[in-house]
């Protein structure tokens, strides 16, 4: 008697690269978080987190481990953030830099003003006394992102945390064609890794296919 065939591992799942957010989707999520922040203290953190995630293009593992000192000094919020990536730190000694926009710096100022945070403390923590001294985990970050997508009526199954990381460098490349800038933003050693990561060659091939047909 033969055993019944096992279901495919990817049955019902969306596989492949997760797409970046579009500028319109970014604006919508940001608007919803701003509205929520007027009545929900947690949304003040979420707005700052969303903005920092977009501006820095950091991996989730680096984003959740930011400390207050990474983005602020006793004089105020930094414009340039610099970190050593957790994943590639041993292979790439060069730190990664990111610029925080005026919008992001303002959301950080509002967030940091909600309570006294020492410079050595974690930047993005959980809510309540129990979790206020622990940084968010990557799974918590994903749950937050999933909630933002649902609020914006976007299907969470189509996205992942790498969607946040891909959004800004993909937009920069689309607007300027500058792949080197995207590489520096992502902290990639190889430009080929950047091409693969943001799918530039695939996007260019599809664009050509739109212009030519049999």
Please report which confidence band the pLDDT of residue 174 belongs to, taking 50, 70 and 90 as the band edges. confident
Q: What are phi and psi of 125, to 5 degrees?
A: -115, 175
Q: Tell whether the model's pLDDT for residue 187 goes beyond 80.
A: yes
| Best CA proximity match to 56, nearest among 34, 78, 80, 86 | 80
DSSP reduced 3-state for 43 = helix
Please report which confidence band the pLDDT of residue 198 belongs to, taking 50, 70 and 90 as the band edges. confident
Q: Are 136 and 124 in contact (CB under 8 A)?
A: yes
The whole-angstrom separation of Cα 150 and Cα 153 is: 5
Query: CA 95: distance to chain centroid?
Result: 18
Q: Are 85 and 59 in contact (CB under 8 A)?
A: yes
The whole-angstrom separation of Cα 174 and Cα 195 is: 12
Q: What is the dihedral of CA 123, 112, 164, 64, to 10 degrees?
A: 10
∠ CA 91-134-119 to the nearest 5 degrees?
75
Q: Interhelix angle for 23-37 vs 138-151, to 10°? A: 100
Q: Which residues contact 148 (CB under 8 A, 6 or more apart)?
A: 29, 32, 33, 46, 50
CA atoms within 13 A on the CB side of 198: 32
The whole-angstrom separation of Cα 71 and Cα 124 is: 11
Please report which confidence band the pLDDT of residue 2 belongs to, taking 50, 70 and 90 as the band edges. low
pLDDT of residue 89: 54
DSSP reduced 3-state for 66 = coil
- Average pLDDT of the residues in 101-130: 89
The whole-angstrom separation of Cα 30 and Cα 24 is: 10
Give me the domains of the chain, ranges plus CATH numbers. Answer: 23-157 (1.10.443.10)
* pTM for this entry: 0.84
Tokens of 20: 């970046």
pLDDT of residue 177: 87
């Amino acid at each position: 008697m033969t055993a019944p065939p096992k279901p495919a591992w990817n049955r019902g799942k969306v596989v492949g690269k997760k797409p970046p957010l579009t500028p319109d989707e970014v604006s919508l999520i940001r608007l919803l978080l701003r509205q929520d922040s007027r009545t929900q203290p947690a949304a003040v953190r979420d707005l700052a987190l969303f903005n920092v995630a977009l501006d820095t293009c950091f991996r989730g593992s680096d984003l959740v481990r930011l400390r207050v000192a990474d983005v602020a000094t006793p004089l105020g919020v930094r414009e340039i953030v610099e970190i050593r990536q957790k994943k590639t730190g041993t292979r790439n000694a060069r730190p990664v830099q990111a610029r925080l926009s005026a919008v992001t710096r303002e959301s950080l100022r509002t967030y940091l003003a909600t309570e006294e945070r020492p410079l050595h403390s974690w930047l993005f923590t959980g809510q309540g006394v129990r979790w206020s001294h622990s940084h968010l985990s990557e799974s918590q970050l994903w749950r937050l992102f999933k909630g933002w997508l649902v609020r914006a009526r976007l299907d969470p199954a189509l996205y992942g945390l790498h969607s946040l990381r891909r959004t800004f460098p993909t937009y920069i490349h689309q607007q300027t064609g500058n792949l080197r800038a995207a590489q520096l933003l992502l902290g990639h050693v190889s430009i080929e890794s950047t091409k693969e990561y943001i799918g530039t060659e695939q996007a260019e091939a599809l664009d050509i296919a739109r212009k030519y047909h049999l």
